[in-house]
Amino acid sequence: MNWRIFPKKRAVDQKKSKKREWFDAVLFAVIVATLIRVFFIEAYVIPSASMEKTLLIGDYLFVSKVNYGARVPMTPIAFPFAHHTMPITETKAYWDGVQWKYRRLPGLSDIKRNDIVVFNLPVGDTVALENQEPSYYNLVRQFGWKTVNNQYTITSRPIDKRENIIKRCIGMSGDIVSMKAGLVSVNGQPESLKNTGQMPYKIQVKTTDINFEVFKDLGFAVNEMEQVDATTYIANATSEMIDKLKALDFIKSVSLAVKPETIDDGDLFPLDPNRKWNVDNFGPVKIPAMGWTVKLDSNTMPLYYRAIRTYEGNKVEQKGNTWYINDQPATSYTFKMNYYWMMGDNRHNSIDSRYWGFVPEDHIVGKALFIWMSWDKDATFFHKIRWNRLLKGIH
């Protein structure tokens, strides 16, 4: 007698096909790698010289999302491992139809002064795709809105899909920053540039018969030195390099080559005709802090207008001598976020807060930890890897 009353059960433990195994493995790897990249650590490469000599072009870094607390994705629907643009098609790598509000997981610490921080470019909300100018707004000031919008493809980007930038945090929320003769002061205290950063120096020598290998041995980029006359050069250097240079017998004098206060660069933050600032002389500027209330008038609004309107999402307009926020007359404003002042260590070759102002906390990506690879594309084949920089911590 056959007691089987149910049909034979299909084996569910049959082996998966090779294609299915590969698909599952790749999918799992992509999910895990994406979670690590979003919430723990991300690779970053230095594209410009704005942080020399702390960071060099071709340095590959690991950036920690854990230190300051990982930012929950604000644009959740995006192609894995692509930031804002697909590598081949040059199309958007995300869909901004779904936007989440800013939230951040608990971190190990707050941002500290002099931390090296990766963040989204504050003025990267609008971009001219065919132009490498970091700010669409600079293009508009130079050529006019109509010319720029007719000549280039203009797009907008959500906060977490704006260009990633790396700088040093010079000022914290609530700090007052200023700069005079190339020296930054925070809350009235001078903050000397560390030995890893550099400034331009005017170097006068006693003779025209110079062995430039001496300069090279001290770390100078000889090919970038500018010759003013037969015995005068302008060169970027750290304070440590300058101290060693002054000890050489053929050096006549060395001094900082900075702009006088009378020069107005014109294109610096906050683009206020009443503030004649340049890259070596600016401020004082108070950095907004969460809960700080500022009085609104003709003196403060040039500094804080963009933070109030763009970063904190308010409708701001002026009618006569009265400012209106969200259609209500306002004589003051209380900030909802913390802000920071970021600057490059290569002070005369850095587009930073001197140009676009404060960095809001919701733009912060993470803290630079260490260099895992350094590649010098201009070196000969056997010297392309900078071995002395591998696994070097960032300070």
Distance, CA of 278 to CA of 260 (rounded, Å):
9
pLDDT at 197 over 90: no
Closest of 349, 343, 345 to residue 234, by C-alpha? 349
Phi-psi region of 12 (alpha: psi -120 to 50; beta: other; left: phi over 0): alpha
303: part of which helix (H) or strand (E)? Answer: helix 301-306
Q: Are 184 and 343 in contact (CB under 8 A)?
A: yes
Q: Three-state DSSP class for 370?
A: strand
Across 145-164, average pLDDT: 92
Contacts 24+ apart (CB under 8 A), 273-281: 274/302, 275/302, 277/354, 279/347, 279/348, 279/354, 280/179, 280/180, 280/181, 280/182, 280/347, 281/179, 281/180, 281/181
What mean pLDDT is reported for the chain? 91
pLDDT at 10 over 70: no
Q: State pTM to two decimals.
A: 0.89
- Return phi, psi of residue 75, to 5°: -120, 85
Question: What are the tens digits of pLDDT across the range 298-340?
Answer: 999 999 999 999 999 999 999 998 999 999 999 999 999 999 9
C-alpha distances (whole Å) from 326 to each of 35, 151, 288 are: 38, 34, 20
pLDDT at 173 over 60: yes
Across 177-195, average pLDDT: 91
Domains and CATH numbers, the chain: 199-256 (3.30.70.100), 293-334 (no CATH)
pLDDT at 278 over 90: yes
Across 181-194, average pLDDT: 90
pLDDT at 366 over 70: yes
Q: Are 159 and 362 in contact (CB under 8 A)?
A: yes
What confidence category does residue 143 fall into, taking pLDDT thresholds of 50, 70 and 90?
A: confident
The burial class, CB within 10 Å (0-12 / 13-18 / 19+), for 83 is: middle
- Return phi, psi of residue 246, to 5°: -60, -25
Across 52-71, average pLDDT: 94
Across 160-169, average pLDDT: 95
**What is the pLDDT, as a whole number, of residue 248?**
92
**What is the pLDDT, as a whole number, of residue 4?**
55
Mean pLDDT check: name the lowest of 8-12, 118-122, 282-286: 8-12
pLDDT at 11 over 90: no
pLDDT at 386 over 60: yes
Across 46-56, average pLDDT: 91
The residues, ordered by sequence, that sit 6+ positions from 64 with a Cβ below 8 Å of its Cβ are 40, 41, 366, 367, 368, 369
